[in-house]
Amino acid sequence: MTSPDYTKISQGIVYDPRNGIDGEIRDIWILDGRVVDAPADPSVRASKTIDASGLVVMPGGIDMHCHIAGPKVNVARKMRPEEKRRGEQMPRTNITHSGSMGSVPSTFATGYKYAALGYTTAFDAAIPPIAARHAHEEFEDTPCIDKGFYVLMGNNHYVMQSLMNNEPHKLKAFIAWLLTSTKGFAPKLVNPGGVEVWKSKQAGNVSGLDTKVDHFGVTPRQIICGVAQAAAELALPHPVHIHCNNLGMPGNWETTLETMRALNGYRGHITHIQFHSYGGGNGDENTFNSKVIPLVEYVNSHPNITVDVGQVLFGETTSMTGDGPLGYFLSKVYGGKWFSSDTEMESGCGITPIKYRNKSLVHALQWAIGLEWYLLVKDPWQVVMSTDHPNGGSFLAYPQIIRFLMDKTYRRDVLKTCPPAILERSTLWEIDREYTLNEIAIITRAGPARILGLNNKGHLGVGADADITIYTPHENKEVMFEMPRVVIKSGRVLVEQGEIRETLIGKTLHVQPNYDLDVETDIQEWFEKYYSISWRNYPVDLSYLYESCVIPTRRGS
């Protein structure tokens, strides 16, 4: 009999916030892709030992909000050849495919870059259900990480129709049916109701939570509240992921606060909240200012609410959104090329190139507002690191954000390069807080895992997926985090010091909650009346998932 094929990470300085381990020297044993107890028999030796003495060990990073696959991302790749030729190139090697970078990297490049950064799981935040098959096809070409996606449903006609007719049982069944059919992970609301109005008239949008959506007569508030309640009743691992109405507009903080209130105490995640925390009035940029404080006070006193930031970084990127009217607005602001696509019964999309400049007061404020969010939320389990890749900047900027959070001098040095008026319009200069490594581990892995309901990720306890990142400590935290010493995915060493050693395709995380199957007849009748494809050709079957991983509901089913 041969002994089990253990891997041991020996004597690392371990940060595992979920299990209360804050920088303690530990051994971690891995078997068959999972963290296990040290063997009871002390004579058992690991077949592979990674000496981590003096190194920092954390669970693999989790990006809970990025745009990395599907129709919108792929259109952006096609649309922006100009930024690729002059940028970093990704030649093929004997174990990796070639790729292209720019603000929207190709699929293989995306997987390799996430892994090399120590991230082992990522969620695409906005997939139109009818294009779910496309997202899964790209996922299979996005190696080295586990992935999942959120399903756009804030402007779905069946959702609005069920609310209009006051049929919550249909709404609940529909959400479960849609997630199951698309092999998606969570319900996503993008400018709920507003995209439908955009589809029906010139420059159409809703103005606030209580504007009625044409034809359906429902309000954004009803959509938010209704979906949050249905998701809670379905006990989804990640109940509802909300891109609020009025993104980017001066004065939108009130809409954001109303959205939090509309959750009625149900769990809800407000995404890229930086873009939704603006004071000022009537679309007037001259009055633009930070309203993080009143919003953060609400979050600090409401544990049902979590947020990710959507940090803006200075530089050139591509704005991409399921928020059609926002895309139109941005294209008018920046005047560059503009892509918009309306998807039948479901959603919209807007894409335009964008450049954030530190000399622009508005852009500098956006940057500062993002950092205020990280630094003002009291409980780090309620706030998650994101750039809304590529909207605020690339996921490759995470190490720089970590430095901003852990080094107030560096933060202030950059602040000094911004227009001085920023000091009157945000509180960033006055904030002394610096994050600890344990807090960084919370906002980049343990926190998102908890918010997403992923029990096997974001920690290093027994039973956890052996997705582990080992860093070389450095005074400059950007240097420390931008090139991990070792990255382990499912127990295998994929990256050493930035070099890919081995690749794998990774799992697709999705949900399949139980629902009232009788409602399917009603859904089918509606579907066949209005869709341009056949009912039976809509659901994505398991053959499209390289490795399926069903995440149980919070009831455990």
Q: Which residue, 143 or 392, has its beta carbon nearer to another protein?
A: 143
Residue 334 Cβ, how far from another protein at the closest point, in Å? 11
How buried is residue 119: exposed, middle or buried, by Cβ count under 10 Å (0-12/13-18/19+)? buried
Residues 6+ apart with CB under 8 A from 230: 168, 171, 172, 175
Residues 6+ apart with CB under 8 A from 333: none
Main-chain phi, psi angles of 523, to 5 degrees? -65, -45
* Residue 16 Rama label (left phi>0; alpha psi -120 to 50; beta): beta
Contact 193, 220 (CB under 8 A): yes
| Distance (Å, whole) CA 312 – CA 5 | 44
Give the DSSP H or E segment for 161: helix 157-164
**Which residue is associated with the tokens 């904030």?**
431
Residue 515 Cβ, how far from another protein at the closest point, in Å? 23
Residue 223 Cβ, how far from another protein at the closest point, in Å? 19
Residue 525 Cβ, how far from another protein at the closest point, in Å? 14
Q: Which residue, 328 or 398, has its beta carbon nearer to another protein?
A: 328
Spell out the alpha helix ranges (H) of 351-496.
Answer: 361-376, 398-406, 408-416, 422-425, 437-441, 447-452, 477-482
Q: Which residue, 100 or 426, has its beta carbon nearer to another protein?
A: 100
| Distance (Å, whole) CA 150 – CA 310 | 16
Residue 401 Cβ, how far from another protein at the closest point, in Å? 25
**Which letter does DSSP use for residue 303 in this model?**
T
Residue 498 Cβ, how far from another protein at the closest point, in Å? 17
Q: Which residue, 174 or 374, has its beta carbon nearer to another protein?
A: 174
Pairing of strands 119-127, 61-66: parallel
Main-chain phi, psi angles of 173, to 5 degrees? -65, -40
Q: Which residue, 193 or 280, has its beta carbon nearer to another protein?
A: 193
Q: Which residue, 127 or 442, has its beta carbon nearer to another protein?
A: 127
Residue 103 Cβ, how far from another protein at the closest point, in Å? 11
| Distance (Å, whole) CA 379 – CA 257 | 19
Q: Which residue, 328 or 395, has its beta carbon nearer to another protein?
A: 328
Burial per residue of 504-522, b for 16 or more beta-carbon CB atoms within 10 angstroms, e otherwise = bbbbbbbbbbebeeebbeb
Residue 74 Cβ, how far from another protein at the closest point, in Å? 5
Residue 392 Cβ, how far from another protein at the closest point, in Å? 21
Q: Of the candidates 116, 99, 121, which has an alpha carbon nearest to the alpha carbon of residue 108? A: 99
| Distance (Å, whole) CA 373 – CA 270 | 12
Q: Which residue, 84 or 510, has its beta carbon nearer to another protein?
A: 84
Contact 540, 151 (CB under 8 A): no
Q: Which residue, 283 or 420, has its beta carbon nearer to another protein?
A: 283
| Distance (Å, whole) CA 456 – CA 450 | 10
Q: Which residue, 410 or 546, has its beta carbon nearer to another protein?
A: 546
Residue 145 Cβ, how far from another protein at the closest point, in Å? 13
Q: Tally the residues of the chain.
A: 557
